[in-house]
Amino acid sequence: MALRLIGRLFAGLLVVIVLPGLTWAAGRPASLSAADAATYAAAFRAADLGRWGEARALADSANDKTLRDVIVWRHMRTGPPDGPSLDERLAFLNTHPDWPLTGTIRRLIEEGLLASPGGVPETLALFQRFPPVSPAGKRALARALLASGNTARATALLREVWVDGDFSTSDEAETLNALAPYLRAEDHWARADRLLWDGDYDDARRMVPRLDAGRAAVVQARVVLGTGQGNPDAAVNAVPAALQNDPGLVFERVRWRRRAGLDDGAIDLLLKHGSRGGRDQLWWTERAILLRDALDQGHISVAYKLAAGHERDEGTAFAEGEWLAGWIALRFLRDARMALPHFRTLYDGVSSPISRSRAAYWAGRAAQALKRPEEAARWYGLAAAHPTTFYGQMAAARLRLPLHTLLPPTDPLPSAEEAQALAGDRMMRIAAQLIELERHDELLSFMYTLVGAHPGTGARAALADLVLSAGLPEMAVRLARRAAQDATVLLAGGYPLPDGLTPAVLSQARNTGLPAAAAFGIIRQESNFDHEARSSAGALGLMQLLPSTARAMAQVEGVAFDPALLTRDPAFNTRLGTRYLANLMDRFDGSLVLAAAGYNAGPSRPAQWIQDHGDPRQMTPDEAIDWIEQIPFRETRNYVQRVFEGALVYRLRLGETLASDTPTTNLIRFR
């Protein structure tokens, strides 16, 4: 009895079976009748065309009403002039508050309330339950607050609208006219400052007439520096001495100097003034570029100061800054005692498996360098608790633990409680019927909501299995990635081997001499197994091939090239993609690290990085890890680690037996 088939778990037709040591559910699909399936298919087609009256009438006529509200839900997210009335939206939101994408419905309600005010008590009650999500909502709430006598809170909201709002020129004038009685000079400055941090220089220029002379000079200087148009020295010198330390001005000066190749001057400014105020990510981008350049030039102490001085206690700047400070101290300054506190602080301040395993692995390395073997083993154990991550795998190798001992052979089955909760969730029935009708766009939204509502590992495995058994591996991977944020590992859903694709990839890998696990690792990272994926750069299909690359590989393979097949025929895409990846692997003597770097950043890049930092094929595993971390592009550093970790998991998924040192030996040659 195939108890694991979650495709058979649908509300209303569920029987919970409890056996010793095994709890699951069995039943049969809650299928739509043929007539209802045809009716809803027609309703969705009408909705796709914006014929809402027809769509809703068809949905109303179905005997099974499960999907009726999905049609209504889509209509609720449609704006004027085809959208429903304000009252309809309000009624739907009140009865479906936990449905996906209600933020759009709330925004439309708020815009409707601003245009057509409701009663003050009703408006206040609405926003008490659903706080405003848009400038229109804040204005509508402020109006109700003013009418109720709460001037202070209303004024604060209206100031937020002005500072945070993005307006066209005409809308800006209208908004300013409406809000003028409540705005102060500080609010105009806050808006100008925010626009400048956003890089909206034209909008920021419009704020100059509303500012005092000193702050107007700051805006002008930041615009000149940010756009590169004008005389930067004159613009900076025009700023009063009291405002020279404005964080935004200092930031633009640092960035301008770095872009002009004046790294020493940029570093001096950064170390003198720090990077408080404004946007953490923008500050960190400049700091990271400068510190990596300093590291490449041998200015190790400067690089350490820049990393350790990140001035943050959360977010990317904190995580990257603490890690880099520890890594530089350990590997370049050879000071493990200085390094270890950075890794400890990092571990305590992050939550994702990737970040925690990274922190714990390097804390283990530092403890090992300090000749504290028990502490090192404890840290490595914490990292190895995340065996699907790059550093979890490296830690497992340190502990001589084969990866298969750290990963379950199969995903867990739902407990009785999890099965009952899934069965009682109306969205499960909705999901089943959306699958039946192949309404995959709507389905994904509901599946994300289900994953959030059912945090148990067994329940999440069941949800991933539901879409996987429906032939939607791309959706299973997305759900598994969402679950992984909570340290929930889903092997079948997160690392799928689709029935229709796997034999083709295995055959293509054999024909090209490519390890099949490497191909699957690339597919997972490039497209999440979405054979219709298209990138903004024009890369297509499962292996995200540029048409020019695909055409060249088609010539090598001796097949006719049709670009349309890259997104229509998965096997065609992987045939050309595996050939391209195999060529890269041959070019780099079996190094998946170099091949993945070339796949992401272009095949000429690894040669340059070898020239800059040495050849990872001739390094120890520890040195190869350092080489990866010295890749200058953050995207490529991350890409190489994600492909590598995924490929190792796929080696297990494909039935290979891996030695305990496979993670480290595979860093040099992936065999």
**Average per-residue pLDDT in the chain?**
95
Same domain, 594 and 643: yes
Long-range contacts of 400-405 (CB under 8 A, 24+ apart): 400/660, 400/661, 401/660, 402/658, 402/659, 402/660, 402/662, 403/648, 403/649, 403/652, 403/658, 403/662, 403/663, 404/652, 404/657, 404/658
With a cut of 90, say whether residue 5 has pLDDT above it. no
Residue 462 lies in a domain: no
CA distances for 447 relative to 192, 469, 478, angstroms? 41, 14, 10
Query: What pLDDT shows up at residue 409?
Result: 84
Helix (H, G, I), strand (E, B) or coil at 26: strand
Confidence of residue 24 (pLDDT cuts 50, 70, 90): very low
**H-type alpha helices, 64-119:** 68-76, 86-95, 102-115
Residue ranges making up the domain that contains 601: 502-668
With a cut of 90, say whether residue 31 has pLDDT above it. no
Same domain, 656 and 562: yes
Same domain, 50 and 145: yes
Same domain, 509 and 656: yes
Helix (H, G, I), strand (E, B) or coil at 545: strand
Residue 43 lies in a domain: yes
Residue 509 lies in a domain: yes
Residue showing tokens 């615009």: 223
With a cut of 50, say whether residue 8 has pLDDT above it. no
The residue ranking higher by pLDDT, 524 or 19, is 524
* Token pair for 253: 């000066």
The closest of 303, 271, 269 to 288, measured between CA atoms, is: 303
Segment 285-302, tens digit of pLDDT? 999 999 999 999 999 999
4-8, 187-191, 401-405, 582-586: which range is least confident on average?
4-8
What's the angle, vertex CA 251, arms to CA 250 and CA 257, rounded to 5? Answer: 90
CATH code, 624: 1.10.530.10
Same domain, 127 and 172: yes
Query: What pLDDT shows up at residue 25?
Result: 39
Residue 46 lies in a domain: yes
Confidence of residue 671 (pLDDT cuts 50, 70, 90): confident
User: In this structure, which amino acid lies at residue 217?
Assistant: A
CA distances for 40 relative to 32, 319, 426, 433, 439, angstroms? 9, 48, 18, 10, 10
Query: What pLDDT shows up at residue 129?
Result: 98
Our measurement of the distance from residue 248's CA atom to the centroid of its chain's CA atoms, rounded to an integer in Å, reads 27
Same domain, 112 and 150: yes
CATH code, 157: 1.25.40
Domain stops at, among 160, 183, 206: 183
What 3 state SS string does 630-662 have? CCCCHHHHHHHHHHHHHHHHHHHHCCCCCCCCH
Segment 559-573, tens digit of pLDDT? 999 999 999 999 999
Residue 337 lies in a domain: no
b or e along 414-432 (b: 16 or more beta carbons within 10 Å of the residue's beta carbon)? Answer: bbeebbebbbebebbbbbb
Domain stops at, among 207, 222, 244: 244
With a cut of 90, say whether residue 3 has pLDDT above it. no
Residue 425 lies in a domain: no
Same domain, 65 and 201: no
The closest of 143, 204, 137 to 172, measured between CA atoms, is: 204
Domain stops at, among 158, 183, 208: 183
Rounded to an integer, the average pLDDT of 508-527 is: 99
What's the predicted TM-score (pTM) here?
Answer: 0.93
Q: What letter would DSSP give residue 472?
A: -
21-30, 177-186, 305-314: which range is least confident on average?
21-30
Segment 379-436, tens digit of pLDDT? 999 999 999 999 999 999 999 999 999 998 889 999 999 999 999 999 999 999 999 9
Q: How far apart are CA 82 and CA 478, in angstroms?
A: 32
Segment 365-377, tens digit of pLDDT? 999 999 999 999 9
End-to-end CA distance of the chain: give it in Å, rounded. 38
Residue showing tokens 């298969």: 404
With a cut of 80, say whether residue 14 has pLDDT above it. no
Residue 140 lies in a domain: yes
Confidence of residue 183 (pLDDT cuts 50, 70, 90): very high
Same domain, 58 and 156: yes
Task: Using CA atoms of 100, 106, 112, 118 in order, give the dihedral in degrees to the nearest 10.
Answer: 120
H helices then E strands: how many in the chain? 38, 2
User: What is the number of domains present in the chain?
Assistant: 3
Cβ atoms of residues 533 and 544 within 8 Å = yes
Same domain, 145 and 208: no
Segment 62-90, tens digit of pLDDT? 999 999 999 999 999 999 999 999 999 99
Residue showing tokens 């083709």: 504
9-13, 170-174, 199-203, 398-402: which range is least confident on average?
9-13
Query: What pLDDT shows up at residue 236?
Result: 98
Cβ atoms of residues 401 and 423 within 8 Å = no
Q: How far apart are CA 204 and CA 198, in angstroms?
A: 10
Residue 323 lies in a domain: no
Segment 478-503, tens digit of pLDDT? 999 999 999 999 999 999 999 999 99
Helix (H, G, I), strand (E, B) or coil at 278: coil
* Token pair for 129: 């339950």
Same domain, 175 and 204: no
Beta bridge partners of 73: none
Segment 32-48, tens digit of pLDDT? 999 999 999 999 999 99
Same domain, 108 and 70: yes
Is the torsion defined by CA of 227, 233, 238, 239 positive or negative? positive
Q: At what angle do helices 102-115 and 135-148 cross, to 10 degrees?
A: 50
Same domain, 528 and 659: yes
